[in-house]
Amino acid sequence: MPNIISERVIPVDQDIYAKVDADSLGRGKGPVGTLMVTDDGRRFRYARTENTIGLGQLCIAVVNIDAIAATYFGATTALAPVAGEGGSIGDRILRVCATGVTANEHQGGWLMITDGTGISQLFKVKKNGVSATGGFLIHIYGELSALLDATSVGLLMSNPFHNVDHTAHANFGGNQNQYIVGRAMAACAGTSSAPDYVWLQTRGISMLVSGVAPNTHGGILTVAEDVDGVVQLSDTGDRDPGYQPVAIALQDGADTVGQPCYLILE
């Protein structure tokens, strides 16, 4: 099924780096978020970016979360959804209202009914329209299993791999919508009009450049706010919302030197 994020296991004796390089697969041809697993346990995710990212940099997901106004779930007769647009159980197209949404911004992301009638329904988004007077349409995988009404409240959340960036570009630690999702396996340069694609390693044996010494073998490596791909060995004072664990150190490390580690991002 095209809406399922795929997983491929490939032998480690193949040229893994040729496969990880987005060019070898054809840029933009793989579903964003595709999971690739090697038979030695390493994991990689296919990501889209509108930014410049360097080889080996840790990347963050810039996740857009848009609130859906309850008025377009039927608060008034004029705005109530009709059959085929969220007005009937089994609908695969819903009419909603959220401001600032661009075409297919949430493609591959999720629609969540978070409160009121129909709470806990969760759908993967096939495609979405543009914010406009009178709402816009969202096409979902799956079917509406409970009717929505004036009490229903929802969210649209974009795919975490829809537009990744490297950590220097955002105060990711202080924003619940931004978090580290992988280590770039190739350099890439994208723009809003010409996005680029890259494989990110998320789990298994890897290497990160240390920004603090010493890092102790077996320690949990974390990244602090506004640090450009630099890891820090956590201690009691570091374990707060501004720090995200990313890896386990496999060797004592020195400042600014690459350090073997085991990524634990998924």
In a domain, 72, yes or no: yes
The verdict on 130 and 49 lying in the same domain is no
The residue among 10 and 221 whose pLDDT is bigger is 221
Burial of 92 (0-12, 13-18, 19+ CB in 10 A): middle
The residue among 209, 97, 229 whose CA lies nearest residue 150 is: 97
Q: Which domain holds residue 171?
A: 7-63+162-264
Residues 260/193, Cβ–Cβ less than 8 Å: no
Least confident of 67-76, 184-193, 196-205: 67-76
Mean pLDDT of 242-254: 78
β-partners of residue 136 are 96
> What's residue 263's pLDDT?
95
Q: Is residue 136 part of a domain?
A: yes
> Percent of the chain at pLDDT above 90?
12
Residue 202 pLDDT class (50, 70, 90 cuts): very high
226 & 118 share domain: no
For the segment 74-102, the average pLDDT, to the nearest whole number, is 72
CB atoms within 10 A of CB 166: 20
pLDDT of the residue at 55: 85
pLDDT single digits (tens) 153-178: 889 998 999 889 887 654 444 444 56
Asked if 107 and 137 sit in the same domain, the reply is yes
Q: What does DSSP assign to residue 20?
A: H
What's the confidence (pLDDT) of residue 19?
Answer: 46
Same domain, 109 and 196: no
Residues 153 and 217 in one domain: no
> Concatenated DSSP letters for 250-264?
SS-B-TTSEEEEEEE
Which of 157, 183, 218 represents a domain boundary (last residue)?
A: 157
Question: Number of structural domains, the chain?
Answer: 2
Q: How far apart are CA 232 and CA 244, in angstroms?
A: 10
Same domain for 201 and 118, yes or no, is no
* Domain identity same for 75 and 139: yes
Instruction: From 97, 125, 157, give the residue that closes a domain.
Output: 157
Identify which of 222, 213, 199 has the alpha carbon closest to the alpha carbon of residue 252: 213
Residue 78 has pLDDT above 60, yes or no: no
The answer as to whether 121 is a domain residue is: yes
Are 110 and 70 within one domain?
yes
Question: If pLDDT is split at 50, 70 and 90, which confidence band does 124 have?
Answer: very high
Mean pLDDT of the chain: 75
Final residue of a domain: which of 157, 174, 209? 157
pLDDT at site 79 = 59
The confidence score (pLDDT) of residue 231 equals: 61
Those residues with Cβ within 8 angstroms of residue 63's Cβ, 6 or more apart along the chain or in another chain: 157, 158, 160, 177, 178, 179
pLDDT over 80 at 144, yes or no = yes
pTM, whole model, 2 decimals? 0.77
Between the alpha carbon of residue 30 and those of residues 38, 52, 237, the distances in Å are: 17, 20, 41
- Cβ atoms 233, 212 nearer than 8 A: yes
Q: Is residue 118 part of a domain?
A: yes
- Averaged pLDDT, 138-161: 86
Q: Is residue 1 part of a domain?
A: no
Residue 32 falls inside a structural domain: yes
Shared domain for 181 and 143, answered yes or no, is: no
Question: Are residue 150 and residue 173 in the same domain, yes or no?
Answer: no
Rg (C-alpha) for the chain, rounded Å, is 21
53 is a domain residue? yes
CA distance to 81, 86, 153, 179, per residue, from 75 (Å): 9, 13, 11, 35
Least confident of 11-15, 127-131, 159-163, 199-203: 11-15
Q: Does residue 84 belong to any structural domain of this protein?
A: yes
Joined tokens for residue 92:
């695969």
Give the per-residue pLDDT at 204: 96
- Judge if 166 and 234 occupy the same domain: yes
Query: Average of pLDDT values for 101-129?
Result: 88
DSSP 168: G
**Distance between CA atoms of residues 111 and 208, nearest Å:** 35
Same-domain status, 95 and 74:
yes
Q: Say which range, 31-35, 147-151, 181-185, 239-243, has the weakest mean pLDDT.
A: 239-243
pLDDT, residue 5, reads 42
